[in-house]
Structure 1
Amino acid sequence: MTSHTAPSRTALAIAGQRGFGEHRAAYPVNRSHDRAMNVALVALVVAPVPFLAMAWAASPWSSPGAGPSTAGSVVGTIASAAAGLAFLGLALWLGIPGLLASFSHPHATVHLFERGAVAIRHRGGSYSWPYENAQARYVVWQEAWEGELRDRPQLWVTFRDGETICFDGHSERDRAVLPDLAAALGGDREPEPLGELLSYETPTPF
Structure 2
Amino acid sequence: MHPRLTLALAVMEAIAILAYAISGFIEARSRRLDPIGTFLVAMATAFGGGTVRDILLERRPFYWVEHQPYVIALFAVSFVSPMLPKTTSGLFSERVLLVADAIGLGLFSVSGTSLALDAQLPWFTAAMMGVTTGVFGGVIRDVLCNEVPLILRDSRPYATCAFVGCLLYAFLHHIDFDTIYSVLIATFFILLARLITFKFDIRLPH
TM-score (norm 2): 0.26
Q: Larger Rg: 1 or 2? A: 1
Structure with the higher strand share, 1 or 2: 1
Structure with the higher helix share, 1 or 2: 2
